[in-house]
Chain A
Amino acid sequence: MDISLILENWQLFAMGLWNTIWLVTVSLIVGGLLALPLAMSQAFNVPIAGRISYWFSYSFRGTPLLVQLYLIYYGLGQFDFIRESFLWVFLKNAYVCALIAFSLNSAAYASEIIRGAICQVPKNLIETAHAMGMSEFQVIRRIILPIAYRRSIFAYSNEVIFMLHGSVLASTITIIDLLGAGRKLNISYYVTFEGFVTAAVLYMAIVFLISMGFRVIEKKYAIDR
């Protein structure tokens, strides 16, 4: 292990770290926003939309993220109507493809977590709220969703860590994320361990920070994990 080589290339790893962090953060935010309607349409048995979100969620949870990423990055270019449309400016960009794949994948997992939590909200609470004269919308907004969110925190912390782990796939489509930085260092200097070990240590540090953060949130908000 040549520590000085790693320190000399700190800018490469800083860039990788930054790319990993913003890719994961944006994907989690977009995925989280998509997850709510997906989960609610299933939990409340909305006709058609419920079935569609079920199959969306099932198929994105049932296949490898790598295949989903390849489908978007390599696959979509096959179609002339996409190549000729204005969307191609975005879709030929590796970052956009990674964001789309990660967001959809995260949405599928997060929606399953929220759906499960919604279905577990005690029935008597909902009935009480109705008896108090709340409208359907009020019951959802004031009773069901707050409880469901607070019950989801523990499972969601795992999803955040899985998303971070999954984000390493960005390095397979030319993006210099944390693993990409490690691979680049190894290739440029003909070394084997330095790049990968640095990436591994930095990933562990991020996971540690995420776990710490969620422990604080759990202590404050989580109920009945």
Chain B
Amino acid sequence: MDVLIEYLPSVLGGLWTTIGLALTSLALAVFFGIVGASCKLSHSWALQTAGGLYTTLIRGVPDLVLMLLLFFGGQIAINELGFATGLWGYIEISPFLAGSFTIGFIFGAYMTETFRGAFLAIPKGQIEAAQALGIPSSSYLRRIIWPQIIPHALPNFTNNWLVLMKTTALVSIIGLQDLVYNANQAGRASREPFLFLMVSFIVFLLLTMLSDVGLRSLSRRYSHKSGE
């Protein structure tokens, strides 16, 4: 019990890194998702191909491989580019940056499919009607399409968030002091690895349950609005 009290603050301190990382990655994923879905839905052949390559690549390569490639390889690539062009000096990529960017990039591909599916679920007639009425595209996208995309996208969005949150555990491998990293360290220092890894297990489970409850109430709210 004493060990638990001694190390618990440092383990739970990692929780803030985990949550911060998850939210940053989510924001990036939504951004990449909107860009990706716009590419796939566009009429340009080049953009469609680029969007297709993006989602195929992410589905093919495991997350940790991409993360290590970006963390170690991105570092070198950026510095060689800076050296060659003389635009910037030595830059060190922080694990937080590499982690959130990689996770955001990976889940952007899943968000791409989520947003694309939700957009396609909206009856084409509505868009045609808006165009026939001469409503500018910026206006009908914002006032007609977007409010309907949210309830359609929400179930997949929820799922993506739950997987994303668990994926943040990988950053402990590149040395970021998140929940898992700190639990592992506390376990080694106290010689009670099971205890502290179990703490991180339970904290992740609680985060999942909390997200479940929160997103379920959100989906109830939106399904009322669309009258489903």
Contacts and interface: CB of A to CB of B under 8 A. Distances in A.
A166 to B, nearest CB: 8
Nearest to A68: B201
B62 A203 contact: yes
Contact of B180 (A67, A186, A207): A67
Interface string A59-72: 10011111110110
B135 interface: no
B4 to A, nearest CB: 13
A67 B197 contact: yes
B61 interface: yes
A41 B38 CA distance: 44
Contacts of B65: 168, 179, 182, 196, 199-200, 203
A203 B60 contact: yes
B113 to A, nearest CB: 12
A70 B187 CA distance: 11
A191 B72 CA distance: 10
B197 A70 contact: yes
Contacts of A166: 62
A199 to B, nearest CB: 6
Contact of B187 (A65, A75, A208): A75
Contacts of A113: none
B83 to A, nearest CB: 15
B201 A165 contact: no
Contacts, number: 109
Contact of A207 (B60, B162, B167): B60
Interface stretch (A76-84, A117-125, A126-134): A76-84
Given A67-B201, A197-B69, A168 B62 contact: yes
Contacts of A196: 65, 68-69, 72-73
Interface string B37-49: 0000000000000
B191 A204 contact: no
B72 A71 contact: no
Interface string B49-64: 0000000010111111
Interface stretch (B121-129, B141-149, B202-210): B202-210
Contacts of B167: 64
A67 B169 contact: yes
Contacts of A172: 173
A193 interface: yes
Contacts of B208: 62-63
Interface in B178-200: 180, 183-184, 187, 191-195, 197-198, 200
A207 B63 CA distance: 13
Contact of B68 (A76, A79, A183): A183
A104 interface: no
B150 interface: no
Interface of A: 58-59, 62-68, 70-71, 74-79, 161, 164-169, 171-172, 179, 182-183, 186, 192-193, 196-197, 199-200, 203-204, 207-208
13 contacts: A67-B197, A68-B201, A70-B193, A71-B198, A78-B195, A165-B63, A168-B62, A193-B73, A197-B69, A200-B61, A203-B60, A203-B62, A204-B61
The 8 closest A-B pairs by CB, nearest first: A204-B60, A62-B208, A75-B194, A64-B169, A165-B62, A64-B166, A63-B204, A78-B194
Given A64-B204, A66-B169, A78-B195, 6 more contacts: A59-B205, A71-B198, A165-B63, A168-B65, A172-B173, A193-B69
